[in-house]
Amino acid sequence: MKKCLKCGIRTNIYIPQHRLALCPEHYINWFEARTQRTIEEFKMFQKTDRILVAVSGGKDSLSLWNVLVKLGYEADGLHINLGISEYSEISEIKTRNFAQRIGRKLHIVDLGRDFGRTIPQIKENERRPPCSFCGTLKRYYMNLYAREYGYNVLATAHNLDDEVSVLMLNTLSWNIEYLSRQFPVLPEENGFARKVKPFCKMSEKEAAMYAVLAQIDYIEDECPFAEGSTTLHYKKLISQLEEKSPGTKLRFYSEFLSKMYPVIKDRRPKTSINRCKSCGEPTQSEICMICRMRNNLLYGKLQTSTDKADNP
């Protein structure tokens, strides 16, 4: 056991990448203050902004919502029920209960009602992995309802592990287009809400520790369709590096943001944004990806992995 840096009491909480030992109370304070510093560093939003937090019912998203409310931000939640049997039922219950606990508004999107199909039903007609079309659907509805409900900021709980796994994947393939938009803030433009990631410098373990210490009741099970995901494979590889050399993940990500991103940020292709002729949402095509998916399901056409999502 080590001594808390702030108060000196014995503690089992130690953050190796920061060489920091903290008691439960001071860990919560540190985590929240670090989130605030990240918000300020990237100029994500201010107290006057209306923030919609995408909440799945898991540790990261509920922790983010909790932190933002405690920091004094006007933050409400958006939960998308994906229709994945018991997993989605429990996720919605956890999210509803947490919204009541912190006294904030929660918006619920029922994918089966809004889109006409649940994720398991869509999976029967798709060649793509479930995470691919699920991500497309979630981005669509998050952007749609952020604007419809009058929020000017959309916050997601992507953590450091998420960002580093995607960064490694895109770096290994040198996908400049994707790398050029991997930044903690994507501005509001062309009908897309401003997207921010306040937990981008918080590791998955740090977020999990915060959730436990803050007594947040979250769903512990992973999505049953996440097994075999490419990003999970990269997360495991990076975690092995982190274990041998603490700080590797944060250093890799921070160095990208400070040294590489400024060089490639203007390399993002200039594309014209239209309004979908079917639903009116922003798209690079005449018909957006979601409406094409819906049409494909109606007419039994299989979607391929070569199609791109409209939302960044």
| Domain boundary assignment for the chain | 24-273
Cα angle: 193, vertex 194, 200; to 5 degrees = 135
48 CB-contact burial (10 Å; exposed 0-12 / middle 13-18 / buried 19+): exposed
Q: Of the candidates 87, 193, 185, 68, which has an alpha carbon nearest to the alpha carbon of residue 130?
A: 87
Whole-angstrom distance, CA of residue 215 vs CA of residue 47 = 26
pLDDT reported for residue 268: 73
Where does the pLDDT of residue 301 fall: very low under 50, low under 70, confident under 90, or very high at 90 and above?
low
Average pLDDT, the chain: 91
**Average pLDDT rounded to a whole number, residues 45-59:** 97
pLDDT reported for residue 305: 39
How many other C-beta atoms lie within 10 A of the C-beta of residue 136? 21
Beta strands in the chain (DSSP E): 2-3, 10-11, 14-15, 20-21, 50-54, 74-81, 106-110, 153-155, 185-186, 194-196, 274-275, 282-283
pLDDT reported for residue 154: 98
Where does the pLDDT of residue 270 fall: very low under 50, low under 70, confident under 90, or very high at 90 and above?
confident
Is residue 227 within 8 A of residue 87, CB to CB? The reply is no
**Average pLDDT rounded to a whole number, residues 155-164:** 97
Note the pTM of the prediction, 2 decimals: 0.91
pLDDT reported for residue 300: 62
Whether 117 has a pLDDT exceeding 60, the answer reads yes
Q: 24-273: which CATH number, 3.40.50.620, 1.10.1240.10, 3.90.209.20, 3.30.565.10?
A: 3.40.50.620
In 3-state terms, what secondary structure has residue 77? strand
Whether 311 has a pLDDT exceeding 50, the answer reads no
Whether 222 has a pLDDT exceeding 90, the answer reads no
Q: How far is CA 205 from CA 11, 100, 159, 242, in A?
A: 17, 26, 10, 12
**Average pLDDT rounded to a whole number, residues 270-278:** 85
